[in-house]
Amino acid sequence: MRSRGETGTGISRRGLLGAVGLAAAGAAGCGAPAGDGGGSPQAGHVTAPPPEGVLGANFNGDPSTMTFAELQAVSATWLRGFFPMPDAEQGPPEGRPAIGALLTAAGRGYGTVLSLKFPFDRRPLPVPGSTAMAAELQRLDKVLPVVLNRVDILAIGNEPFIETRAADRGDRLNDFYETIARHVTAYRAEHFGDKCKTRLYMGALNHLDRPAWRTPAAERWMRFVRETPSIDGVDIHPHLPAPAAGQRYLDYVLPRMRPEQRFLATEFSLVLLWKKHLSDPVAPAFADRYSVPRGTPVWRVLKNAIDHPFPQRQWDDLLAMSPWFAAHRTFLWEQMDRFRRTGRLAVATYGVGQDAAMVRDFGPDKTPWLLNSLFCPYTVQPSGGLPGRNRAWTDAFRALQHT
């Protein structure tokens, strides 16, 4: 999805410190062998399991929303982020925050997933053979030498059907991404042969629970995935209005792939369900306990938490006393079970931390991404050296590392 601050400039003191720390770690690790941790040794190493039914952490495009201490606190062993391809013009890719963080994580033993983001929602998609397409391929040639054989999984695309103008979401979209995929495949074969550890996926499809998004272009996308031997599978982003809607994604993509192919779910959540309840009155029990006027809408209470972060107990109570949230506290368990029962999940990743754009101009129409995050630095007071957290998610995330 696009509205979580992928280009936001607001950053908290914590986010700034996280960015500085990760940048320093990335600089130490860049160019180092895959086994060289780099960065500060106290963060420690992990041993990532193979990509078979794994639940990892996701920072999207901004690694300043997390620290390695937070990853350790929830026992994470896999990490995902995306890289906007125009940033390849801003200097060496290994020095950009997202790639630097993933390379540092790889050096510390984490499994890593990098999604390449091509933002064309405000300009036409390049046509193969054009000057604009040549420029995109030149950017790729800056990034591929840095990440291939170092990250475990490279997803070609982030959310192509959202990050493309509506007028281009037909054959033009397919032509563009198929050209990119063939270029990546050819580069990997030429420079690494069969020894490259990086697996390739096409990503990611959105809103497959809605018939209107199952277009001829989506069918062609899946056909290309199925018919291209170098592609290991497809990425999906099930942001859902109800838990059962996640099955519709699986029902769509699994029959359209080769039996040995797998899927990623590098983003998933119930954020569309949370949004339905922003204008509900806050639970009376919560209102009475914390001297909030009865009838105050949920969005206003969340805005209060943004303006004056709650103690952990108050945040816990807000969620536990809200029936629309409490009824779905087991969502991570249920969705991971749904994914794993297919026998074809490679890696799913879940959002680590709130970012500045999640809380900017918060109101009744804002998509409440802030309710998805494991850690909640913008709405919950820190404790024990870590930001406040959403215990429904952190407890489940940690337990799911061992099931």
Residue from 368, 250, 210 nearest 299 by CA: 368
- Kindly give, in sequence order, each residue whose CB lies less than 8 Å from that of residue 10, ignoring residues fewer than 6 positions away: 356, 357, 360
Contacts of range 7-12, beta carbons closer than 8 Å, 24 or more positions apart: 8/62, 8/355, 8/356, 8/357, 8/360, 9/356, 10/356, 10/357, 10/360, 11/64, 11/356, 12/356, 12/377, 12/378
pLDDT for the residue numbered 32: 30
Is the pLDDT confidence value at 29 over 90? no
- Chain mean pLDDT for the chain: 91
Please check whether residue 88 is in contact with residue 48, taking contact to mean a CB–CB distance below 8 angstroms: no
pLDDT for the residue numbered 24: 37
- Between strands 262-265 and 345-351, the pairing is parallel
Please check whether residue 349 is in contact with residue 360, taking contact to mean a CB–CB distance below 8 angstroms: no
pLDDT tens-place string over residues 254-306: 999 999 999 999 999 999 999 999 999 999 999 999 999 999 999 999 999 99
Please check whether residue 100 is in contact with residue 90, taking contact to mean a CB–CB distance below 8 angstroms: no
Could you identify the residue written with the tokens 């050209």? 179
Q: What percent of the chain has pLDDT over 70?
A: 89
pLDDT for the residue numbered 241: 98
pLDDT band at 11 (very low <50, low <70, confident <90, very high): very low
Is the pLDDT confidence value at 12 over 60? no
Q: Where are the domains positioned within the chain?
A: 43-269, 278-321+353-403
Cα 257 from chain centroid (whole Å): 23
pLDDT for the residue numbered 44: 79
Query: pTM value?
Result: 0.90
Rounded to an integer, what distance in angstroms lies between the CA atom of residue 100 and that of residue 357?
A: 22
pLDDT for the residue numbered 72: 97
pLDDT tens-place string over residues 119-169: 999 999 999 999 999 999 999 999 999 999 999 999 999 999 999 999 999
**313-to-309, 316, 383, 395 alpha-carbon distances in Å:** 11, 5, 11, 15
CATH assignment, 43-269: 3.20.20.80
